[in-house]
């Protein structure tokens, strides 16, 4: 009897920590997410069922402190050669239950990746913010990127170079004064504890030195969050508007300073791809489980679906596609975890970003496709929420669209491989 554990993993590159950690996560997902996830769609505004699981994952299992240095109560995961593998493993295992829960838990750490992954480390800021993330209270990070006018401009750093950013940071004595309007980030919609805010110290500038990334606690005066938006899926991830009106934070809340902020921000693009492929592959593995069950109990032509050669052909293609996605997802892991190896590149390198974007795009396209096809295999049960395939279909479409979407991926690949100069 095959199971999801038969999909490929490059076992020569897997951390010894991974096996036990996967086990714990698998249990949490099976016991605490699977039985309730059908209620999540209606829970999008209140997070009555969702919030406790996020708490369990982030505080209970300790995800929220993972990146912080051990001396400040964390696990120093940023130093580890297996950091990306572990992050991926969380994304995948939790994503199997609910991509949005996985997203919400992991993205909570997204902003702090900018200063906790070597070589771009800011120990002072780590010390300052550690109490929020390493305590027993849930601390939700939110990387507040997109702006109303810009669409994916802000992810398109190589071309646009930040010149369309309208959120500003002005130095006033020993504070930064932030003004601007962000929307749509994961973990906004009222639940964020702290924001990472990409902004500019000189509006309209193309100089990377004018790009700033500043941490802004949500309870700072002048910071307002809207209620969450209604979406096609991903109920466990709240999204809304955030307004910064003369929000003042200490100068030390800027993560690094001119130049390095932009690099660190580019590194987040990689981290976003890594998470995305984890959510997608996790969900796909659940789709496989569901299909296995369905195809082994329903018939066409008085044969089990899986024993009809033509339907089996589709099932085989789906399983094969999932295995291919798994292999490729681990390539994204490798790109990141090799960052300190002689042959590796920093996560903000052109190569790492272009290649991980490529794989993310591939996996998401395939994932939407596979989920859609799986719905069709289920026929009149495919659109039935009780079978959960349609949930993954809705969720993964959103994973496909975020982070600048498909066209930006295409452009970045073209730029990388064909040395395009004007795109």
Partner 1 sequence: MAYDVNELFPYPKNWVNDETHTIATAVHQWADKKIINNRLEYQKAYSELFLERRRSHNLDIGFQRIIFPEEYGGSGFNTLEKTPQLVTILGELSRADAGLGFMSALEYALSAVAAMEPNVNKEVCDLIAPMLCGQELKTVSILMPGQGIKDRIDPLFMGRPISARITPAQEGYSLSGSGIRPIGNGAIADIFGVVCADPDGRPGIAYVAADSKGISRGEEIKQTGLDACLNADISFSNVHVPSGHVIMNDDAVRELYTWLNLFLGAVSVGACLNFFEILRNWADNRVIKGKGLLKNNPLCASVLAAVAEEIGLAKILVYNISNFIGRTEVWGGHENPVIFMAAQMFGKRIQQCSLNAINRGMELMASAGYAKEWHAEKHWRDVKTIQSVLCGVGAEVPVQLDIARFFYESDLD
Binding site for partner 1 (CB under 8 A): 38, 41, 146, 149-153, 156, 159-160, 163-164, 184, 229-234, 239, 296-302, 304-305, 308-314, 368, 372-373, 375-386, 390, 393-394, 397-398, 400-402, 404-407, 410-411
Rounded to a whole number of angstroms, the minimum distance from the CB of residue 315 to partner 1 is 10
Site for a copy of itself in 352-411 (CB under 8 A): 355, 358-359, 361-362, 407, 409-411
User: Between 138 and 277, whose beta carbon lies closer to a copy of itself?
Assistant: 277
Q: Which of 136, 116, 138 is nearest to 127 (CA)?
A: 116
Q: Which of 35, 301, 379, 417 binds a copy of itself (CB under 8 A)?
A: 417
Please tell me the distance from the alpha carbon of residue 168 to that of residue 108, in angstroms, as a whole number: 23
Q: Which of 151, 312, 369, 405 binds a copy of itself (CB under 8 A)?
A: 312
User: Between 2 and 230, whose beta carbon lies closer to a copy of itself?
Assistant: 2
331 sits near a copy of itself (criterion: CB under 8 A): yes
Q: Which of 3, 23, 92, 104 is nearest to 325 (CA)?
A: 92
User: Between 255 and 319, whose beta carbon lies closer to a copy of itself?
Assistant: 319
Rounded to a whole number of angstroms, the minimum distance from the CB of residue 105 to partner 1 is 20
Please tell me the distance from the alpha carbon of residue 14 to that of residue 282, in angstroms, as a whole number: 17
Place of tokens 């009106």: 245
Rounded to a whole number of angstroms, the minimum distance from the CB of residue 24 to a copy of itself is 22
Backbone phi and psi for residue 204, each to the nearest 5 degrees, phi listed first: 85, -5
Quick one: tokens of 76?
Answer: 């120093």
Quick one: tokens of 134?
Answer: 């390493």
Cα torsion 277, 20, 237, 252: sign:
negative
CA 171, distance to chain mean position in Å, is: 31
Q: Are 248 and 222 in contact (CB under 8 A)?
A: yes
CA angle 132, 226, 56 (to 5 degrees): 40
Which among partner 1, a copy of itself, none contacts residue 409 (Cβ within 5 to 8 A by kind)? a copy of itself
- Which stretch in 163-171, 217-225, 267-275, 310-318 sits in contact with a copy of itself by CB under 8 A? 310-318
Cα torsion 180, 186, 189, 190: sign:
negative
Please tell me the distance from the alpha carbon of residue 38 to that of residue 33, in angstroms, as a whole number: 9
159 sits near a copy of itself (criterion: CB under 8 A): no
Q: Which of 220, 327, 369, 372 binds a copy of itself (CB under 8 A)?
A: 327
**Per-residue binding letters, 188-217, with a copy of itself (x by CB under 8 A):** ------------------------------
Q: Which of 317, 340, 376, 384 binds a copy of itself (CB under 8 A)?
A: 317
Please tell me the distance from the alpha carbon of residue 230 to that of residue 394, in angstroms, as a whole number: 13
Rounded to a whole number of angstroms, the minimum distance from the CB of residue 298 to partner 1 is 6
Q: Are 143 and 74 in contact (CB under 8 A)?
A: no
Please tell me the distance from the alpha carbon of residue 170 to that of residue 201, in angstroms, as a whole number: 6
* Cβ neighbours for 27, distance < 8 A, ≥ 6 positions apart: none
Name the residues that contact a copy of itself, by CB under 8 A. 1-2, 6, 8, 10-13, 288, 292, 295-296, 303, 306-307, 309, 312-313, 315-317, 319-320, 323-324, 327-328, 331, 334, 338, 341, 343, 351, 355, 358-359, 361-362, 407, 409-423
């Amino acid at each position: 009897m095959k199971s999801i554990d038969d999909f490929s993993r490059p076992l020569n590159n897997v951390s010894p920590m991974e096996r036990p950690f996967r086990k714990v996560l698998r249990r949490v997902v099976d016991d605490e997410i699977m039985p309730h996830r059908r209620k999540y769609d209606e829970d999008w505004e209140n997070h009555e069922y969702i919030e406790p699981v996020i708490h369990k994952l982030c505080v209970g299992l300790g995800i929220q402190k993972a990146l912080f240095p051990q001396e400040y109560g964390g696990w120093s995961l940023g130093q580890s050669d297996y950091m990306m593998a572990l992050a991926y493993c969380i994304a995948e295992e939790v994503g199997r239950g609910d991509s949005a829960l996985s997203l919400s838990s992991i993205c909570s750490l997204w902003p702090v990746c900018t200063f906790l992954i070597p070589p771009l480390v800011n120990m002072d800021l780590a010390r300052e913010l550690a109490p929020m993330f390493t305590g027993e209270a849930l601390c939700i990070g939110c990387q507040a990127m997109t702006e109303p006018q810009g669409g994916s401009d802000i992810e398109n750093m190589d071309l646009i170079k930040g010149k369309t950013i309208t959120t500003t940071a002005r130095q006033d004595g020993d504070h930064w004064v932030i003004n601007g309007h962000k929307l749509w980030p994961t973990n906004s919609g009222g639940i964020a504890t702290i924001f990472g805010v990409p902004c500019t110290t000189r509006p309209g500038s193309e100089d990377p030195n004018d790009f700033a990334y500043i941490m802004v606690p949500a309870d700072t005066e002048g910071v307002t969050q809207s209620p969450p938006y209604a979406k096609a899926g991903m109920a466990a991830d709240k999204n809304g508007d955030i307004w910064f009106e003369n929000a003042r934070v200490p100068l030390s809340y800027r993560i690094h300073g001119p130049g390095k902020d932009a690099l660190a921000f580019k590194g987040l693009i990689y981290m976003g791809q890594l998470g995305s492929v984890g959510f997608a592959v996790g969900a796909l593995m659940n789709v496989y489980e569901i299909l296995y069950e369905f195809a082994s109990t329903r018939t066409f032509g008085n044969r089990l679906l899986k024993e009809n050669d033509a339907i089996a052909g589709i099932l085989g293609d789906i399983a094969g596609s999932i295995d291919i996605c798994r292999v490729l997802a681990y390539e994204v892991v490798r790109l990141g975890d090799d960052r300190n190896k002689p042959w590796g590149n920093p996560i903000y390198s052109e190569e790492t970003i272009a290649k991980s974007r490529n794989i993310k795009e591939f996996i998401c396209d395939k994932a939407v496709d596979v989920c859609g096809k799986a719905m069709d295999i289920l026929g009149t049960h495919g659109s039935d929420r009780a079978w959960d395939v349609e949930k993954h279909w809705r969720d993964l479409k959103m994973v496909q669209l975020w982070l600048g979407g498909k066209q930006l991926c295409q452009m970045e690949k073209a730029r990388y491989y064909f040395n395009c100069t004007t795109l």
